[in-house]
Amino acid sequence: MIKSNNLKEKYNFLVEKLTQQFADGEELNLDGIIYLVGVQELGQGHREFKKDEKVNLMHIAICKLLEPYGYYEFDFFDNDGWPHYKILTELPNLKAGEQTVLMKDAIVSYFDAIGYLE
């Protein structure tokens, strides 16, 4: 586990660890990590996803990542096992850099909560 309160250091540590585990030499970017969270949250294991399913996986991940911040709340699983969320609060208008910081913080918190950073 990285012993730091610095978001940048924690995020870089996480990227390195995820890249080693899931990427073939190419560093995972923010979208790639969000996709991995979506796959994890869907819980159907590794399989091929169609293009529209990949978009839905990204949506699932964003909802799950921002749930602790009060933006979304889990609602139900559909008949195919896909989770659905409802919007609690509209996301604020953030600049691109602010959006990135929010998502990185949410990602670090998510992986910390599931014990992956240990």
Domain residue ranges in the chain: 7-113
Alpha-carbon separation of residue 69 from 21, 93, 106 (angstroms): 28, 15, 8
pLDDT per residue over 96-112, tens digit each? 899 999 999 999 999 99
Q: Which of 39, 3, 33 is nearest to 15 (CA)?
A: 33
SS3 sequence of 12-66:
HHHHHHHHHHHCCCCCCCHHHHHHHHHHHHHCCCCCCCCHHHHHHHHHHHHHHHH
Rg (CA), the chain: 14
pLDDT per residue over 1-24, tens digit each? 455 579 999 999 999 999 999 888
pLDDT per residue over 19-69, tens digit each? 999 888 789 999 999 999 999 999 988 789 999 999 999 999 999 999 999
What SS3 class is residue 100?
helix
Nearest 5°: the CA angle 92, 84, 40 is 95
> Largest alpha-carbon pair distance within the chain?
42
